[in-house]
Structure 1
Amino acid sequence: MTQINFTLNLEDLKEKIQESTLEATVKASTTMALNELMKKEQEEHLQVDAYERSSKRKSYRNGSYERSLITSAGTLLLNVPRTRDGEFSPSVFKKYERIDQAFMLSMIEMVVNGVSTRNVQKIVHHYCGKKVSKSLVSELMKQLDPVVDKWRNRPLNAQHFPYVYADAMYIKVREGDRVVSKALHIATGVSSAGKREVLGMKISSGESTDTWTEFFDELKARGLQRPQLVISDAHAGLVSSIRSRFAGTSWQRCYFHLSRNIVGVLPKKGSKEMRDQIRDIFDAPTLKQARERKNMLIEEYGEEKKYEKAMQLLDEAFDDSTQYYQYPSHHHISLRTSNSIERLNQEVRKREKIIKIFPNIDSATRLIGAILMDIDEGYANKRSKFMTMEEKVERNEKK
């Protein structure tokens, strides 16, 4: 078999690529096409062709002027035709707008994905050779307002969410010359189809019973039906609001948060065996076995003063932290902790920390709302289900 050998001169290839006029050709073609488009639009505005005499004429040509337009192909220098009445405005760009819509969306997307405003300016300057102001990027972000508002206020009555997760995180926002901490309330749900969804968000002055109640009332007003189970940490205001706004709903105390609380009151040395036994309680296959393991642990260590607080906390929180046993076993790993919404918070935090301090509540709602919309879209487009709900029906029938 004949073998063909060849060598590739990488330096020569690199030089040819660098000398390529492809970019210049694209820019020239785009410029020519847009200039022709504006001439046609001017004729339509005047209602006459060049040098034509007509009673339908609306105005007269008045030369042209150069104007730059930032596009994904780079910065284009266009010849914009004028009319004497000054009323002609080409559709290539809105009046006083020098950036095409596609490039605007690209800049918005960069900010939503965690690129700082300063870096967006650098990227635009690097690729287009044009500086854009920080205020322009901020104004572009305001275009998200109607989109985010529509998503935040969408109806929730199209399907039932048997499981709801709730949590809050804190962000920094400017109020005049002050920088204050604000609570960001977030709720996610698992639908009867087993798909996860971001139900809503709300920024409040703090995390209290009143702020959580306002948030839950808004979700209910949008059509959220009473869930079977709400999963969260044991924040007093949150728990109080869950019990008052969702009467008849069970509350699952996050086992992971409880474990950290128990470990926090254990002696730092010599308590590894107890930590393992606590984990075994919540890994038990049935509630009966979990209760037996808990009682045995308390009986063994309950009289020792150094374990007294830990055993008391475990005993008091046991019922609230084992509500997941009332549901199908294949749901337990997802229901016993609020880890799923904690991971969502981490994703928000990863992008939010680049901002560090939001200039106001509106900008915080806008950006975080866009981030949550993006995450929610990811949930919707995911082929696999978060939970297999069909098995729940089958198992209940077997019982």
Structure 2
Amino acid sequence: MTDHNNFDFEAFKQAAIKGLYEGKPLTGEDGLFAPLLKHFLESALEGEMDNHLLQSRVSEQNRRNGKTTKRVKSSAGLLDLQTPRDRTGSYQPQLVPKRQVVLTPQLEQKVLSLYSVGNSYADISQHLLEMYGYTLSDSELTAITDKVIPAMREWQNRPLESLYTLVWLDGIYYKVRQEGKVVTRVLYSVIGLSLSGKKQVLGIYTAESESAKFWLSVLSDLKQRGVEDLLITCVDGLKGFDTAINSVFPAATVQLCIVHQLRNSFRFVPDKLLKDFAKDLKGVYQAPDREQGMENLLLVQEKWGHSYPKAVQPWLEKWELLSPFFEYPAAIRKVMYTTNTVEGYHRQLRKVTKTKGAFSSDVALQKLVYLTIQNLQVKWETTTYNWKEVINQFSIIFEERIKPHRFD
């Protein structure tokens, strides 16, 4: 028979009443409720052990084998719990699992919530000190935030829809510590627009630098997870990107981002001339059709090409990849010729990650980005603006390619 019922409630009551008169807190570090909570928890663990022995005795000769002390954080402060052990080591505590150092699920949820909006471990500790009267060490906070890793892995490998009307692909740079040095890493972002008009982050990937070769592995991953077709992809001007996309999704239209190209060109033109130059370029990408766009580009070349070749030449060299949007109606053009969607997503990530100097690892970076995406997904539940008109046009232009796929 165990002694977990031998708790002196009378002595506890007297001590608690005395403590109240002395102004001691009920909860928090050294709170008056700590002994009672400790008793309840230890009684529950002993009850678990009794039940475990009863169930395992049929198949094996198992019995108690002393106790271990485990320190946990709770709403009543720090507690040293006496956890029973069994001879075979088959008992797994349910109430306070082996590696759990914090008792309340609400507290863990609070930590994850603070972490997901960009608070550092120091910020979170300070917050917990103010709210609950104790702090958690960096390693304890890591243990809590690491709980999202299995969910993150599952999310990263989840099956995707068979077709996306539009996919934006871009990279964003971060600093990560590696073997004592701070190195630059690229976080690859892939955002898809589904047939129901909703945006989804399809995956997060990290690599040392942005390259067409790595994008190839990203696109292959999308295919393995069930994507059969991409109608249109909107990308930055990375060399070889179009070849990488078409080797995995041969029918996809590759559109270079006009906004990226404009920014690159503006870097080579003096500020005082920028307004005029931008106005002339507008005549190129806002032309009614591809032929008129090309004519207007030749006029830009004539006027500006000699003085600022680096601002104009890329438009001519990349015209095949910059001009596909002309083939589509205005509603689709508006969605496809800019990576605004992915840039808006990157702004959200920066908001959350700007407090970080360098991440401790790729996983630490991915963990925070994953939590940010979960927060963003709520906002993204709304359908894309003007979607009915856009999807009607997609359905006419890509009728044969859309037909085999589920359409809500």
Pairwise TM-score range, normalised by the shorter structure:
0.7 to 0.9
Offset at residue 107 of structure 1 (A): 0.6
CA contact (8 A) 1:195 1:386 kept: no
Identify which of 291, 296, 317 aligns with 1:293. Answer: 296
CA contact (8 A) 1:144 1:366 kept: yes
Offset at residue 276 of structure 1 (A): 1.1
Offset at residue 236 of structure 1 (A): 1.1
Matched, 1:266 2:263: no
Matched, 1:221 2:224: yes
The aligned residue for residue 250 of structure 1 is 253
Superposition pairs for residues 1-399 of structure 1, below 5 Å? 24=26, 36=40, 39=43, 42-43=46-47, 45-46=49-50, 69-71=73-75, 75-76=76-77, 91-95=94-98, 97-99=100-102, 100-156=104-160, 158-299=161-302, 301=303, 305-379=306-380, 382-385=381-384, 388-389=387-388, 391-393=390-392
**Cα-to-partner distance string for 1:297-320 (whole Å, 9 max, x where unaligned):** 445x16x62144444333333342
CA contact (8 A) 2:331 2:389 kept: no
Offset at residue 288 of structure 1 (A): 4.7
Whole-Å separation in 2 of the counterparts to 1:219 and 1:279: 35
AA at the equivalent of 1:143: K
Change (3 A) 1:32 1:325: farther
Whole-Å separation in 1 of the counterparts to 2:129 and 2:165: 50
CA contact (8 A) 2:38 2:81 kept: no
**Over aligned residues, Cα RMSD in angstroms?**
3.6
Change (3 A) 1:177 1:42: closer
Query: Which stretch shifts more, 143-152 or 251-260?
Result: 251-260
Whole-Å separation in 2 of the counterparts to 1:29 and 1:104: 21
Whole-Å separation in 1 of the counterparts to 2:85 and 2:163: 62
Offset at residue 137 of structure 1 (A): 0.6
CA contact (8 A) 2:266 2:311 kept: yes
**Cα-to-partner distance string for 1:151-187 (whole Å, 9 max, x where unaligned):** 000111x341021100011111222112211111111
**Cα-to-partner distance string for 1:169-207 (whole Å, 9 max, x where unaligned):** 111122211221111111111111111111112111221
- Structure 2 SS opposite 1:313: helix
- Structure 2 SS opposite 1:355: coil
Gapped runs of 5+ residues in structure 1?
1-20, 48-57
The aligned residue for residue 55 of structure 2 is none
Offset at residue 386 of structure 1 (A): 5.1
The aligned residue for residue 14 of structure 1 is none
- Structure 2 SS opposite 1:227: strand
**Cα-to-partner distance string for 1:87-127 (whole Å, 9 max, x where unaligned):** 98874423464422221121122112100011111111121
Length-normalised TM-score, structure 1 = 0.76
Change (3 A) 1:371 1:266: same
- Structure 1 SS opposite 2:382: coil
Whole-Å separation in 1 of the counterparts to 2:95 and 2:168: 47
Change (3 A) 1:267 1:358: closer
Aligned length: 358
- Structure 2 SS opposite 1:213: helix
AA at the equivalent of 2:146: K
Change (3 A) 1:286 1:103: same
AA at the equivalent of 1:388: W
CA contact (8 A) 2:332 2:390 kept: no
AA at the equivalent of 1:393: N
AA at the equivalent of 2:336: L
Whole-Å separation in 2 of the counterparts to 1:173 and 1:309: 33
The aligned residue for residue 18 of structure 1 is none
Query: Which stretch shifts more, 142-151 or 318-327?
Result: 318-327
Offset at residue 383 of structure 1 (A): 3.0
Change (3 A) 1:289 1:76: same
Change (3 A) 1:314 1:81: closer
Offset at residue 359 of structure 1 (A): 1.5
Whole-Å separation in 2 of the counterparts to 1:396 and 1:84: 65
Query: Which stretch shifts more, 161-170 or 239-248?
Result: 239-248
- Structure 1 SS opposite 2:273: coil
Whole-Å separation in 2 of the counterparts to 1:244 and 1:395: 23
Whole-Å separation in 2 of the counterparts to 1:389 and 1:338: 21
**Cα-to-partner distance string for 1:341-377 (whole Å, 9 max, x where unaligned):** 0121122122223222122222223222332343234
Query: Which stretch shifts more, 362-371 or 329-338?
Result: 362-371
- Structure 2 SS opposite 1:115: coil
